[in-house]
Chains A and B, each alone.
Chain A
Amino acid sequence: MVESLAAEIAAEADQSHMILDLAQVRRLDTLGAWVLDRTRHELGSRDLGADFANASQEQQILLDEVAYRGFQEQAKPRRSKAVDFLVDVGQSVAGAGRDLVDGIAFLGELVSALIRVVVNPRRFRGTAVINQLEQIAYRGVPIIVLISFLVGCIVAQQGIFQLVRFGATPFVVDLIGILILRELALLLTSIMVAGRSGSAFTAEIGSMKMREEIDALRVMGLDPIEVLIVPRVLALVIGLPLLTFISSIAALSGGGVTAWLYGDVSPDVFLSRLRAAVSFNTFMVGMIKAPFMALVIGIIATLEGLAVQGSAESLGRHVTSSVVKSIFMVIVLDGLFAMFFAAIRY
């Protein structure tokens, strides 16, 4: 609006000198003053002088204050879109590499802190571990039981629909038994814990970082890794296997109920087939993996939390990326374990 008006004034100006009469102007704000003075300035540069007239005292003060001047643009390196894209790709690859190195370095720091705690048990923070265990494991039980039960039902139902065509309905017990104990319970639990506790963990550490609470710990001679991170990671390493166990039971119950309803597999048959189908190995495969998943989730959540910078936006970004990276790494690690266990025929 104002700009087009000013442009019109400038376009119509053909006399050698213009007077901008402000007598009728009742209110003048910064925007108006700036555009007026810019117009005057531009006319001046076209050798058409312009001046203000009848400006009131306040208007004159404002006009002087916002006198037109070019603002120096912060020099931005200009590149084409294609180059930008390549730079982005390169940076994310370098970033992923850096994440890996940081993760391993941090694992080292964590282990050395753990050793320090083991050597000097007085520095072990039992209360904090129990407290975290409550947050991570105990309070997570209902939701994990619920989703595991439902997933058990769904897998069993789909299994029955396929197997019934071959007249092999009872084999659904083998299917869900092995699938749940080896993979599903652990994956479900890890993903849930990454979403529930990993994010909380990043947000807590991140907001402590933002408020200089981490620095305050450091200058008191307290090691943030020992005080904040070791208890959380320990609680994860203890809690995740427990939750995985609970999740297995819930999922198997779900599968059992569904097999009974849809496939006429009575609970007795279900249990005896289950006993035949799964061995202790099957169960252990799931349980052995659990502490490693806990470690991965803990390390990623911590690193993201410590990477938070001053702003709220940065906190949000790191919480998101903590969850995404943990879930991604949990699945990758599960794949590696699958290859490993296949190779050793466990």
Chain B
Amino acid sequence: MLDRVHPPIDRNREVVIRVRGVEVGFGEKTILRGLDLDVYRGEILGFVGASGQGKSVLTRTILGLVPKRAGTIEVLGQNLDELSPSERRLLERRWGVLFQQGALFSALTVKQNVQVPMREYLHLSERLLDELAMLKIEMVGLKPDAADKLPSELSGGMIKRAALARALALDPDIVFLDEPTSGLDPIGAGEFDELIATLQRTLGLTVFMVTHDLDSLYTVCDRIAALGEGKILAEGPIETLLESDNPWIRSYFHGKRARAAMASGA
């Protein structure tokens, strides 16, 4: 088991993602209604919510893939709406994203996938590119022989790891993980959680993790935010959420599965 020391929440810590009053909708359907959220430097934030509530939509909105109707988003102190294209490119170097389905480039091998962002931003010799890519591949716990495989030749868990390696290619400040452990067996999921925690510690990452996995919430997340009805219903360390009297949060954290996770977890 992990013995993660949750750092005390210090309200003066630097906010790396600041979301204020964000409203997002598709057609007549409004998904997010005035959502506020802060993510602090160096923490692992677990983001939970029932299926279809808009967790992926919020992630994609922060990444600029979905247009918002109102509100502001600041990442690393910069308002995303006010950036020039070149400033935006600079910012995009500083985050890495693990998509729900991995989104590896299917025409490229794992190693080439990891090298895509490196080739774009760093001017390195082929040798160094290869070595760096192999280093990242090893860091995420893939065997070296996976490096020359195409995404279609990988298992689900390997795809997640390869996608994480690509997200980490440029040593980002922030990583976004959309359900990193879904579709993995419990042991694989546990290892993946551990991997994220280790990487977070060694690389000083800030992690924004959408998850349904109660074990992840107990073992690796410093803080949890729960999404419902287009807003944040509650946020804070797990104790805060356990005390919440919102019906959905209660049934989520006090259900049968939750008790099992609590017993084995923290």
Contacts and interface: CB of A to CB of B under 8 A. Distances in A.
A208 B95 CA distance: 21
B30 interface: no
A221 interface: yes
B63 interface: yes
Interface string A307-326: 00000000000000000000
Nearest to B95: A219
B92 A221 contact: yes
Interface string B155-167: 0000000000000
Contacts of B95: 219
A112 to B, nearest CB: 11
Contacts of A98: none
A212 B101 contact: yes
Interface residues of A, number: 12
Interface string A207-223: 11001110110111110
B60 A213 contact: no
B120 interface: yes
Contacts of B103: 211-213, 215-216
Contact of B65 (A207, A208, A215): A215
Interface in B210-264: none
Interface string A173-192: 00000000000000000000
A207 B151 CA distance: 14
B132 to A, nearest CB: 16
A211 B106 contact: yes
Contacts of B105: 208, 213, 216
Contact of A216 (B64, B90, B91, B97): B97
Interface in B91-117: 91-93, 95, 97, 99-101, 103-106, 116-117
A222 B91 CA distance: 12
Interface in A211-244: 211-213, 215-216, 218-222
Nearest to A122: B123
A218 B64 contact: yes
Nearest to B98: A216
A131 to B, nearest CB: 11
A211 B65 contact: no
B88 interface: yes
Interface residues of B, number: 23
A207 B104 CA distance: 12
B89 interface: yes
Contacts of B120: 220-222
A216 B120 CA distance: 14
A96 B246 CA distance: 50
B101 A220 contact: no
B89 A216 contact: no
A114 to B, nearest CB: 15
Contacts of A211: 101, 103, 106
B78 to A, nearest CB: 14
B97 A207 contact: no
A201 to B, nearest CB: 14
Nearest to A212: B103
A207 B99 contact: no
A239 to B, nearest CB: 20
Nearest to B178: A212
Q: Looking at B63, B99, B101, B103, which has the most chain A CB atoms within 10 Å of its CB?
A: B103
A218 B67 CA distance: 14
B101 A219 contact: no
Contact of A220 (B90, B92, B106): B92
B28 to A, nearest CB: 14
Contacts of B90: 221
B93 A221 contact: yes
A215 B163 CA distance: 13
B80 to A, nearest CB: 12
Contacts of B63: 215, 218-219
B197 to A, nearest CB: 23
Nearest to A207: B106
A323 B81 CA distance: 38
B120 to A, nearest CB: 6
B174 to A, nearest CB: 11
A110 B88 CA distance: 20
Interface string A192-210: 0000000000000001100
B60 A215 contact: yes
B112 to A, nearest CB: 12
Nearest to A116: B85
Contacts of A216: 97, 99, 103-105
7 contacts: A208-B106, A211-B101, A215-B65, A215-B103, A219-B65, A219-B97, A221-B120
Name the 6 nearest CB pairs between A and B, nearest first. A221-B92, A212-B103, A216-B103, A221-B89, A219-B97, A220-B117
Interface of A: 207-208, 211-213, 215-216, 218-222
Given A219-B92, A219-B95, A221-B117, 18 more contacts: A208-B105, A211-B101, A211-B103, A211-B106, A212-B103, A213-B104, A213-B105, A213-B106, A215-B63, A216-B99, A218-B63, A221-B88, A221-B90, A221-B91, A221-B92, A221-B120, A222-B117, A222-B120
Interface of B: 60, 63-65, 88-93, 95, 97, 99-101, 103-106, 116-117, 120-121
